[in-house]
Amino acid sequence: SGNIYKPESTFQAFQQSQFEKKNNESESDYTDVQSAITTLNSGLRLSDPVQWRTNLEKSFDADHFMKWLAINTTMLNWDTYGRMAHNYYLYHVAGKGLLWIPWDNNECMFNRSMNNTSPYAISLATTTSNWPLIRYLMDDPDYNARYKQYMKEFTEQVFTSEKMDELFTKYHSMISPYVIGPDAVEQGKYTHLTSGAAFTMALESLKQHVVTQNMAAAEFLK
């Protein structure tokens, strides 16, 4: 029953046109997202960080966001909040505030000339206040510590070469007959592949991507 939004917003300021409702369209109540944005950008962030966090977490599930941010940044995703003001939903969970829901992750584990393989990108140090959900939370020692802890858990327990190589190989083998094999349906206008070799080489590229990102994360987390 809570509001569901598909925003096109950086969270710098509330503009109703940037928060498309996916339900409750006939109701003009946007107070939940207005409250979250006002609190996020409040001067309490600097004058009273403890109260700022308390207020923020009444309207926005910040811990959940930090977990997503750590995972999303480690995997690398250029088409996401922090570079683009879209590809997420917000759902108002009673008692927890707005919940961040990732959307359209087809550009993850892919570097489009963003130089994101350095530990500096992993640290988000170059992200500006144009993206306050990242910058302001990363500037807060409490949220920064959560970011690092979630990244550590993700790289040590989930995003390991052993586990990811197994997944990559499994699904590469599963779809290969339908991409470059005898039952290939990825033809003509339905493919972005330049050759069958490109599909085959992508498997090793994905495996190396995990190694590279984990090395960057380990350097950052020292």
pLDDT in tens, 1-19: 899 999 999 999 999 999 9
The residues with which 88 forms a beta bridge, in sequence order, are 102
Single out the residue of 89, 93, 92 nearest to residue 105, CA to CA.
89
Evaluate whether 36 touches 50 at the Cβ level (below 8 Å): no
Distance, in Å, from the CA atom of 190 to the CA atom of 51, rounded to the nearest integer, reads 53
Task: With cut-offs at 50, 70 and 90, classify the pLDDT of residue 119.
Answer: very low
Q: What is each CA distance from 157 to 130, 174, 208, in whole angstroms?
A: 32, 25, 18
Q: What is the mean pLDDT of residues 78-101?
A: 95
82, pLDDT greater than 50? yes
pLDDT confidence of residue 112? 66
pLDDT band at residue 113 under the 50/70/90 scheme = low
Residue 47 identity (one-letter amino acid): S
Q: What is the residue type of 129?
A: S
**40: closest CA among 22, 58, 15, 16?**
58
User: How far apart (Å, rounded) are the C-alpha atoms in residues 108 and 147?
Assistant: 19
Residue type, 77: N
Query: Would you state the pLDDT for residue 102?
Result: 96
Confidence of residue 126 (pLDDT cuts 50, 70, 90): very high
Q: Please tell me the predicted confidence (pLDDT) of residue 115.
A: 47
Does the pLDDT value for residue 187 go beyond 80?
no
46-50, 117-121, 126-130: the lowest-pLDDT one: 117-121
